[in-house]
Amino acid sequence: MPAHELTTADDTVHPYVKLLAAFLLPFLAVAVVLLYVLPWTTEQLFAWTIQPSLTAMLLGSAYVGGLWFFGAVLRSTHWHRVRRGFPAVLTFATLALVATVLHWDRFHFGHLSFIVWVFLYVASPILVVVALVVQRGRDPGTPEEHEYHLPLSLRVFLAVIGLVALVTGVVLFVVPALLVDTWAWSLTPLTARIVGAILTLPGMVNVWMLVDSRWSAFRRVVQAELVSLTFIVLAIILARGDLDWSRPATPVVVVGFGLSLVAYVAFYVICERRARVA
């Protein structure tokens, strides 16, 4: 049996996973509006007050990427095309739940957005684990027809970028006091942990490139990362007044996000061109 036929037969997306994507999309859309479009309204409309606006917009940017990713899940007919994004989602959702428990007193008790936040971050890790269980064994690991295989050098390059973000995110989450006073903008222990959780997302995606060379397995997830990064860079521009240039980490963070966006765009363009040739 040709490889692409095997993929089509054994690589389907379980209806439960599509239902999960459809369930999450409306919540993500509302969160994007509240956090990215209206970042100054979190005291009145969100689960907790997020200041400055740049932090709210950063979280909103992660949700924009989530919108793109789960939209791709809803449309996808092949599990391997979206599979690599789910461990990242599981990690982020779990860390957000832990941060919520650790900083329970910072939330707006009784507010609708607080109830929704707690429900989603208690339920999401469980729902994603179920998705991974029902999809277990459905990716045969075979390439699609006319598959483009990522060269090791490109995979290592993206994995290094991801690992830097992952390590930074873990440090922010585990020991927020270590970076709160040096970060590019003002953070509280809660927002430091949320920013840390966001930074784990690319790391949890990119490390899989070291064991899977199929461009088809990363194309849609990289698209989501690109969208999220674009919104992050735009947020830095729009909320540049929140940046504290007296802090040593500010140029590192700003340049880091900018160069990451350039690197992801270059990576995506290179892979798309080579895939078309393949």
Cα gap 24→198, rounded to integer Å: 17
Beta bridge partners of 149: 214
At 191 the pLDDT is 97
- Which one is predicted more confidently, 236 or 162? 236
Report the predicted TM-score, pTM, of the whole model to 2 decimal places: 0.93
Task: Give, as one character, the DSSP assignment of residue 150.
Answer: P
Q: How far is CA 50 from the centre of its chain?
A: 19
Region 206-211 average pLDDT: 92
At 229 the pLDDT is 96
Beta bridge partners of 106: none
At 185 the pLDDT is 97
Region 72-96 average pLDDT: 97
At 51 the pLDDT is 95
Q: Quick one: which of 40, 197, 194 has its CA closest to 103? A: 194
DSSP 171-183: HHHH-GGGTTTTS
At 224 the pLDDT is 97
In angstroms, the Cα distances linking 114 to 43, 102, 120, 125 are 11, 15, 10, 17
Hey, where are the domains in the chain?
3-277
- Residue 9: pLDDT band (50, 70, 90) is low
At 114 the pLDDT is 96
**Mean pLDDT over all residues of the chain?**
93
Phi-psi region of 144 (alpha: psi -120 to 50; beta: other; left: phi over 0): beta
pLDDT over threshold 80, residue 23 = yes
pLDDT over threshold 70, residue 7 = no
Please work out, in degrees rounded to the nearest 5, the angle formed at the alpha carbon of residue 93 by the alpha carbons of 7 and 169.
Answer: 100
